[in-house]
Structure 1
Amino acid sequence: MKLRLPFRLFPENMRHFGFIWIINMTIPLYYLLQLPFQKAWIGYAAVAILAFAFRQALWNTEGRLVYALIQITSVAILGYVYNPSFLYFGFYCIMAIGMLPTVRKVAFTVAYMVAAFVLTLYLFYQKAGEAVHLDFIPSLIILAILPFAMNSHRKAEQLRKQLRSANDEIERLIKNEERQRIARDLHDTLGHTLSLITLKGELVERLIPHDPERAVQEAKDIQATSRTVLKQVRELISDMRAVHLADELRQAGQILSSAGIGFETAGDAKRIRTSPVVMNILSMCLREAVTNVVKHSRAKHCKVELMEKAGSYVLKVHDDGVGIDGAGSELGQAGSGMLGMKERLSLIEGTLEFSKREETGTTLIITVPNVVKRQQTEGNR
């Protein structure tokens, strides 16, 4: 059983514009109603055919060329039988022409339209015994150019959609591959070692009553093995892709610029050398801070400053807006965001400080440990 869709006059993307175009088609009726029916019936028929072909061309992709030619012919008949000013309804035709799939079809239809309208002007003024008026020539040139511009814009939009779709698919495949890689690494890294720890634990349990000294040695082997596992897990996490602060700064600049907020940076984020976990948390805190600036501060300018101190990195986000409650007592998103940042930073022994002054604005100071430098220092000891 074939599913019947509800009838719609125009495609969804046209919304109310399609009705505006149809209403404008009633303008010739004002002129035709002043004529006797014997003279006006051709005009009524031409307007009805034009409206029908206009609507069908929007839906019927396979027959779009035919409906475009029908529209052009209807407009030419109106111009020849009644008045050349009706040729301005050729602007209805260019929508269907611009939607044709190939440039060759667009060029053919435009050539047909130009030839039909030029012939209409010539025959009308020959019939009226007047010299051909040239005031329609500029509009005819525009009618000839617009379909190519519309066709080019439509194809560019299709390419952008295809590119977005391809990028989404690539991102999905990368995520799946990353998940599979992590699963393989975890299985290869932890599976055998955890099985070994389980076996040794059972062995220790059996040895304690009979051979305590060997049980102690086996327990020490379990501790050494567990440390090795912990080191392998840390290396695995460190090998995962992290969100770099430099990329997040670029994104922050785009967001602030879109909100009409001036953006300034100080310090080189590319020089940061820390673990992926710290980098991720620092980047997420920056994102949350910038979001709060855009949503709540009503600021005109924002400055992000990055500094390196003894054993730590300091990230300052300053804006000249009205600020928020530093204690997070507000029930809005800003307070929740502050609490979320504090919770993330507590995982890596980081801190969040907040200051607000009416004359200078609001400043967030985020401090995170330089894990890499700490490890190097401890290693030298």
Structure 2
Amino acid sequence: MKKFLRTQILFPQYLGLAPYFWLIFMLPAFSVITDIQGMAKYFWLAVIVVYIKIYRDCFMTAKHFSLRVSIQLVIDMTFAFVFNYIFLFVFTSFLIGSFPVSKKVFKRLLWTFYLALGVSLSWILYIVYTGTTKIDIFEIALLILSPALPVIASRSLGEQQAKRQALREENQRLRLLATERDRIAQALHDDLGQSFSLIALKAEVAQKFMEKDLAKTKEQLEQIANESRNDLKLVRQIVRDLKNETLIQALHEASEKLKQAKIVLLVENETSAMNWKQEVQQIFARNINEAVTNAIRHSQADIFTVIFNEDEYNYQVIIKDNGTGFSLKEKQDSFGIIGMKQRIERVSGTSSFEAKNGTQITLTIPKKKGTEN
């Protein structure tokens, strides 16, 4: 029962109580059908229930979003023409504005919404002025603006919230990168600095023994050689670490590239992924870079999202944008996508590529021997 409520009835938990509060404004829609008698009343009641279900499902999945909005608009217009009730449009208005679709899709939905709203308002105003009902200018303004404005307001609010979230994440990323640079600098100072001082001291000692005690001179030179070899290994290890791209570095570079393309980067569960094994981070980092390049070149998106997940058996990264998606032929022929799949397959992982109101890439690497923490 709990599973059914969570998957079919309740709104997502991340939305809190706000959706339930807004459903209070659905009560007037129920009131307009109270005077209807017989089976017709149950029909219109079912229509409202279906409307609420469609509205709720839009927050659960991006699949068929445009179709759901179209069905809502049909019901909005039906209530306007049959009951002269315009305020169902408020829900569709808020939904279109708050959903993270690309600018192209948003514009198409926006003009469709305003066309449906305009036709419905024209009908209601015609009924008002040809009937006996009196209405003043303020009521007309309320009638027009209350369904028309939420779509713009919620879109603007959503964009600002996304930008603030992206800025917070980038600042956190910069702090982590600064911490990593400090760690490397400290390692260079503590390890190499002390070692070079010791080498210099031993060289001075060897120089003093050179003419008096060749055995001690040889001993000092051997110690200098051993110390130098150890330092060379340490330098190579540091260089290797610098060459291995971490997820922090990849996300920082992605943020800079996407910012230039006017695309907002959103990241979920980033902190937990920073502790993944270096090999895993490097594979995911390269694939994120490839996905960013593809999004900038082809997607026409304005939001790019990276989600890190981990369970007992797998590491997983979901990369998605709200752009135009891709065709099956493009997916098969893309060298970038082929490269992403090959990187994952080399470590026995899996990958999937889907067009869901944009592009969604799901990459999974198993926690087997060689990739475990």
TM-score range, shorter chain: 0.3 to 0.5
TM-score (norm. length: structure 1): 0.44
Higher relative contact order (CA 8 A, sep 6+): 2
